[in-house]
Amino acid sequence: MFKKRTMAAALIGLSVMMAAGTGTVNAATKTHTTNDNDTFWKLSKKYSVPLDTLMEANPKVDPLNLYKGIKLNIPTTKAAAAKKTETLAATAADDSSKTVKAMNGKEYDYSKALIVQATAYTAAASENGKWGAVDYFGDKLKVGTIAVDPKMIPLGTKLYVTGYDYNGLPQGGMVATATDIGGSIKGNRIDIFVPGVTSQAKSFGIQNVKVFVLK
């Protein structure tokens, strides 16, 4: 009898602990129901949550297909701060002595280097959907705009890209910023904005390039 009561008490205690744990998770987020004009970028500003943290909190939501009525998880300031601390700790673990020299002779510190597959896109309406010739932040597309998978390279990251071969880009390499995304840009892929028309961009093909993530 004593043993049965002890087991029952243990089960009750475990249930209470699990309930408490669940409550903690729920307390770390709140819910936002989207409107037609919402984007992850706008919501990150509205709720003061880093864009990559907001996107990671909603992994099953396509950032290019937000429409009215989607329930999004919004991490609280405390949860976002914890994520930022985790990111900073990971960054601190990188080798701070690594540098890359640009074509103009300037040296940049970088945290990691990636070999990725690159394609090119233009400002043509057929390539940019309803948003037009602007990046994910609403800024005009220009040389130096790079579309990335935010799970691979966080939006807003400064990059040095080299190894491409294209007449409309700076020769040898360029400093760029990850400010755009694309439906087909997943994993080890980037899309580089180039001036000109779609037929010219197609000549870029698929190239293996080296991307330095700058500090």
Same domain assignment for residues 106 and 192: yes
Range of the domain at 67: 22-92
Residue from 125, 151, 122, 148 nearest 137 by CA:
148
Verify that 103 and 206 share a domain, yes or no.
yes
- Provide CB contacts within 8 A for 165, sequence distance 6+: 207
Distance from CA of residue 110 to its chain's centroid?
Answer: 18
Tally of residues, the chain: 215
The pLDDT of residue 136 is 92
Bridge partners, residue 169, by sequence:
none
Residue 16 belongs to a domain: no
> How far apart are the C-alpha atoms of 56 and 147, rounded to whole Å?
17
Q: Phi, psi at residue 129, to the nearest 5°? A: 65, -155
User: What is the C-alpha separation between 156 and 52, in angstroms, rounded?
Assistant: 9
Query: What is residue 91's three-state secondary structure?
Result: helix
Farthest-apart Cα atoms in the chain, separation: 84
pLDDT at 13: 45
Assess whether 154 and 81 both reside in one domain: no
| Predicted pLDDT of residue 155 | 94
C-beta of residue 98 within 8 angstroms of C-beta of residue 110: yes
Q: 106 and 63 in one domain?
A: no
- The conformation of residue 175, written as its DSSP 8-state character, comes to E
Q: Are residues 54 and 124 in the same domain?
A: no
* 110 lies in the same domain as 197: yes
Domain boundary among 92, 117, 136: 92
Residues 110 and 205 in one domain: yes
**Residues 176 and 123 reside in one and the same domain:** yes
pLDDT at position 85 = 54
- Beta-bridged to residue 134, according to DSSP, are 140
**Which CATH number is 148's domain given?**
2.40.40.10
Question: Considering 38, 58, 92, which residue would you say is the last residue of a domain?
Answer: 92
pLDDT of 7 reads: 42
Question: What's the pLDDT at 18?
Answer: 42
Final residue of a domain: which of 92, 107, 133? Answer: 92
How many other β-carbons are positioned within 10 Å of the β-carbon of residue 10? 10
Given a contact cutoff of 8 angstroms between Cβ atoms, the answer to whether 175 and 127 are in contact is no
- Our count of domains for the chain comes to 2
Weakly modelled stretches of the chain, pLDDT under 50: 1-27, 88-95
